[in-house]
């Protein structure tokens, strides 16, 4: 029996989200944002500006890489603006409506410049900033160059457009300062990232910052990062000695929160006529946006590394490029590079099948590996052929193929395991509290935490309370992202529980639940893990189309290797939500820009978040295995966002005869396949 505290709280409106916090004397913050994608700032009158806060953002959190000081995002724009929505100045009031009014009192004189919008053209365009040599932010080759004598050569150009992360709760923060210590309440995936961000940007000592997580209304990668608005809120709280609140509006979210995807793939695949892939070459071009410090520079390399997927391909040479454009910096969105790699590869494999008039699954089978394999780009793959054979059978691929428009796709999931995770268990007053270094933002870690402690300690799950993040309660931690929580957070918790058992045994000679609960115990564990731990997954989708070219997803089946499932409600929920997001990416979701760099997506509806009428029921079939980690779990969170777009794109190709190269698929393109009867 699993306790449902969190559910009961939410269904009765008793959640405590960041916007629900109201402190005496609180100020409300609002931002003046750039209306231009690229401009020189000639003057600013009014508001808090870079004259007051002359700081640059730190590169912290998921996928962040440092060493780009010159290109780091200024907290408030100084001399230049690089994207529409960039914070230029801040205003505040005791009343949130008035703060919004004050935005109009700030006068900014801009000299607009021609924006660099298309990432492929940006590479040869004039450098975005004075002193910059080119707009290429990261440039690496993965794999050795090769030449093969291949009778079949297929080239493809693919785009995954940018997607707003769009959690239903936008970003937000409340900051307070007591003269000695900054305390912030925040909607986040990692209180530790946020603390690190404050310490680095504002040069605060770790003792002088406490970060407390509020109930977090979804995040999907967005809230693993550290943002300029947070610094301004903290700075103002420290300056005024009053609490400060900032809550993002949805239009601010679309314009100025880091979106995911935004990647171009230019692929060239070499094969023989039997369907054996002899090699793959290509360029991965990430539309990184106007500054470094997001995941933009890391993700091109990460995508390139994964290109070869579950296949035994002995030749691969991928050029990984991250390119500056006049858009908000790119960030992680559920999948974060994994869906892009699978999309580029799986689209090519389907084209190879069509070229050779073979069944797409047969081509996949020919290229799957019987033995564990390390690809030329560095991807570790376990024996994928046995998995594929079982997947095809379990999902009844052949049955579906006879019936209709079926698409199949599979992938290697590379969870963000490194560098491990922390956990703390506190037993007192006959209750158990648990903190994990990565904080749940809607994935219900409370459920698997209860399951693990019921197993490890034999306690009633009812008395186990999962706690939100708080840097005063757990000194170290990483974050909840990259399909890592059940693997890394779960393993840290298992190890902490085992330590606790040992402590009880040491004191009493024998462990018993009664002895545990009679005492006060505090167990902390940093489970270090420095290796990749990949797993396999596959998706099957069937579709039908109507006379307007509209696509209906009829069936959506996942076949995943999850290791030990810690909590089945958790797993089915993660699968369902991820499948819906995969369907969203394929058919509806995208942030679109005009040729001048203005975003033409204006609402959460335009951005394409799927509605209940757009998605089917989902089926999750488990590939049975166990991981060698203490939690025995493997990754899940991002799997459906990788497998769904590839399977769905193929199903649409079968249904329409069209070639799918871009997501979201343009409805005008779909209707072009409709023939008058």
Closest CA to 438 of 229, 637, 640: 637
What are the structure tokens assigned to 573, written together? 């929920």
Q: Examine residue 15 and tell whether it contacts other proteins (CB under 8 A).
A: yes
Rounded distance, CA 492 to CA 502, Å? 15
Q: Least Å distance between CB 472 and other proteins?
A: 24
Task: Give dist(CA 421, CA 452) in Å, integer.
Answer: 16
Closer CB to other proteins, 124 or 613, in the complex: 613
Sign of the CA dihedral with 263 first, then 266, 271, and 274 last: positive
Nearest approach, Cβ of 6 to other proteins (angstroms)?
7
Residues between 436 and 495 that touch other proteins (CB under 8 A): 441-444
| Comparison of 488 and 580: residue with beta carbon closer to other proteins | 580
Q: How far is the CB of 344 from other proteins (least distance, A)?
A: 25
609 makes contact with other proteins (CB under 8 A): yes
Residue pointed to by tokens 């629900």: 20
* Omega cis (within 30) before 17: no
- From the list 173, 196, 234, 190, the residue with the least C-alpha distance to 19 is 173
- Looking at the Cβ atoms of 234 and 580, the one nearer to other proteins is 580
Question: Between 310 and 608, whose beta carbon lies closer to other proteins?
Answer: 608
User: Does 13 sit near other proteins (CB under 8 A)?
Assistant: yes
Spatial neighbors of 216 by CB under 8 A, at least 6 apart, are 17, 169, 187, 188, 189, 223, 439, 440, 441, 442, 468
Nearer to other proteins, 299 or 575 (CB): 575
Q: What minimum distance in Å lies between the beta carbon of 217 and other proteins? A: 3
- Nearest CA to 391 among 372, 412, 410? 410
**Part in contact with other proteins (CB under 8 A); list of ranges 37-45, 177-185, 470-478, 598-606:** 598-606
**72 forms part of the interface with other proteins (CB under 8 A):** no
**Torsion angle, CA of 655/657/659/664, rounded to 10 degrees?**
-40
Distance in Å, CB of 540 to other proteins, minimum: 16
Q: CA 529, CA 66: separation in Å to the nearest integer?
A: 22
Are the beta carbons of 243 and 176 closer than 8 angstroms?
yes
* List 85, 143, 479, 577, residue binding other proteins (CB under 8 A): 577
261 binds other proteins (CB under 8 A): no
Q: How far is the CB of 326 from other proteins (least distance, A)?
A: 25
Question: Which of 147, 595, 613, 628 is in the footprint of other proteins by CB under 8 A?
Answer: 613
C-alpha R_g of the chain:
25
CB of 451 to other proteins, least distance (A): 14
Burial class (CB in 10 A: 0-12, 13-18, 19+), 146: middle
Between CA 493 and CA 123, with CA 335 as vertex, the angle to 5 degrees is: 135
The two beta strands, 464-466 and 431-436, are parallel
To other proteins, the closest distance from the beta carbon of 168 in angstroms equals 5
**Among the candidate windows 139-147, 161-169, 259-267, 518-526, which touches other proteins by CB under 8 A?**
161-169
Q: How far is Cα 235 from Cα 381, in angstroms, rounded to an integer?
A: 47
Residues 408 and 647: beta-carbon distance below 8 Å = yes
CB nearer to other proteins: give 504 or 580: 580
CB closer to other proteins, 157 vs 250: 250
Contacting other proteins (CB under 8 A), which of 167, 563, 630, 645?
Answer: 167
Shortest Å distance, C-beta 260 to other proteins: 13
- Out of 186, 388, 580, 651, point to the residue binding other proteins (CB under 8 A): 580
Q: Stretches 73-81, 134-142, 260-268, 609-617: which one binds other proteins (CB under 8 A)?
A: 609-617
State yes or no: residue 6 binds other proteins (CB under 8 A). Answer: yes
Query: Whole-angstrom Cα distance, residue 592 to residue 84?
Result: 13
Point out which span in 79-87, 112-120, 365-373, 571-579 binds other proteins (CB under 8 A).
571-579
d(CA 159, CA 295): 18
Q: Both ends of the chain: CA-CA distance in Å?
A: 57
Q: Which of 4, 66, 148, 513 binds other proteins (CB under 8 A)?
A: 4
Joined tokens for residue 104: 């109009």
CB of 571 to other proteins, least distance (A): 11
- Could you say which of 10, 66, 148, 374 contacts other proteins (CB under 8 A)? 10
Q: 13 by DSSP, 3-state: which?
A: coil
Q: Does 592 bind other proteins (CB under 8 A)?
A: no
State the minimum distance, in angstroms, from the CB of residue 9 to other proteins.
Answer: 7
The single residue among 97, 109, 148, 155 that binds other proteins, judged by CB under 8 A, is 97
579 binding other proteins? (CB under 8 A): yes
Residue 249, both tokens: 């509006």
Task: Classify residue 575 as exposed, middle or buried by CB count within 10 Å of its CB (0-12, 13-18, 19+).
Answer: buried
Is 14 a residue that touches other proteins (CB under 8 A)? yes
Positions touching other proteins (CB under 8 A) are 4, 6-17, 19-20, 22, 96-97, 166-170, 215-218, 220, 247, 249-251, 441-444, 569, 572-573, 575-581, 603-605, 609, 611-613, 615, 617-618
């Amino acid at each position: 029996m699993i306790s449902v505290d969190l559910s009961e709280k939410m269904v009765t409106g008793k959640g405590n989200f960041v916007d629900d916090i109201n402190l005496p004397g609180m100020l409300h913050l609002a931002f003046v944002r750039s209306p231009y994608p690229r401009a020189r700032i000639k003057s600013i009158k009014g508001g808090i500006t870079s004259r007051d806060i002359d700081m640059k953002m730190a590169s912290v959190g998921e996928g962040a890489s440092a060493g780009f000081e010159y290109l780091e995002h200024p907290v408030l724009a100084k001399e230049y603006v690089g994207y529409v929505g960039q914070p230029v100045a801040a205003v505040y009031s005791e009343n949130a409506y008035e703060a919004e009014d004050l935005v109009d009192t700030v006068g900014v004189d801009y000299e607009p410049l021609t924006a660099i919008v298309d990432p492929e053209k940006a590479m040869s365009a004039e450098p975005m900033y004075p002193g910059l040599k080119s707009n290429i932010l990261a440039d690496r080759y993965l794999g050795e160059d090769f030449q093969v004598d291949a009778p079949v050569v297929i080239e493809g150009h693919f785009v995954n457009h940018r997607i707003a992360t769009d959690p239903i709760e936008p970003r937000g923060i409340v900051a307070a300062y007591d003269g000695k210590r900054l305390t912030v309440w925040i909607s986040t995936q990692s209180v530790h990232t946020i603390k690190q961000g404050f310490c680095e940007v504002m040069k605060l000592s770790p003792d002088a910052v406490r970060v407390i997580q509020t109930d977090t209304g979804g995040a999907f990668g967005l809230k693993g990062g550290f943002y300029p608005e947070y610094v301004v809120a903290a700075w103002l709280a420290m300056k005024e000695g009053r609490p400060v609140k900032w809550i993002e509006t949805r239009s601010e979210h679309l314009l100025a929160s880091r979106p995911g995807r935004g990647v171009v793939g230019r692929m060239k695949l070499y094969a023989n006529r039997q369907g054996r892939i002899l090699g793959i070459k290509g360029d991965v071009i990430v539309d990184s946006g106007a500054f470094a410090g997001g995941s933009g520079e890391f993700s091109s390399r990460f995508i390139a590394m994964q290109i070869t997927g579950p296949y035994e391909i002995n030749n691969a040479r991928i050029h990984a490029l991250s390119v500056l454009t006049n858009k908000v910096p790119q960030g992680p969105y559920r999948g974060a590079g994994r869906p892009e790699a699978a999309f580029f590869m799986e689209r090519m494999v389907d084209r190879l099948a069509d070229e050779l008039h073979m069944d797409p699954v047969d081509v996949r089978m020919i290229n799957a590996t019987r033995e564990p394999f390390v690809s030329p780009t560095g991807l570790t793959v376990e024996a994928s052929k046995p998995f594929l054979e079982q997947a095809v059978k379990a999902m009844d691929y052949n049955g579906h193929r006879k019936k209709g428009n079926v698409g199949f796709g599979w992938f290697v999931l590379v969870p963000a395991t490194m560098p491990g995770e922390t956990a703390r268990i506190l037993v007192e007053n006959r209750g158990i509290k648990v903190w994990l270094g990565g904080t749940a933002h809607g994935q219900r870690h409370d459920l698997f935490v209860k399951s693990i402690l019921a197993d490890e300690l034999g306690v009633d799950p009812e008395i186990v309370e999962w706690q939100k993040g708080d840097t005063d309660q757990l000194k170290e931690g990483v974050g909840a992202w990259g399909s890592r929580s059940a693997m890394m957070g779960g393993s840290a918790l298992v190890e902490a529980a085992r330590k606790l058992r040992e402590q009880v045994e040491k004191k009493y000679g024998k462990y018993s639940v009664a002895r545990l609960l009679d005492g006060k115990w505090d167990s902390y564990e940093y489970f270090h893990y420095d290796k990749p731990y990949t797993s396999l997954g596959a998706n099957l989708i069937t579709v039908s189309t109507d006379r307007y070219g509209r696509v209906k997803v009829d069936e959506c089946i996942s076949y995943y290797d999850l290791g030990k499932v810690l909590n089945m409600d958790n797993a089915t929920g993660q699968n369902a939500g991820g499948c819906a997001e995969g369907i969203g990416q394929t058919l509806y979701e995208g942030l679109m820009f005009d040729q001048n760099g203005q975003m033409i997506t204006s609402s959460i509806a335009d951005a394409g978040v799927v509605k209940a009428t757009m998605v089917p029921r989902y089926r999750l079939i488990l590939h049975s295995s166990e991981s060698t980690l203490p939690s025995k779990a493997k990754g899940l969170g991002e799997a459906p966002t990788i497998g769904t777009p590839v399977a769905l794109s193929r199903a649409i190709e079968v249904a329409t005869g069209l070639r799918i190269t871009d997501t979201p698929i343009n409805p005008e393109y779909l209707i072009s396949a409709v023939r008058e009867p």
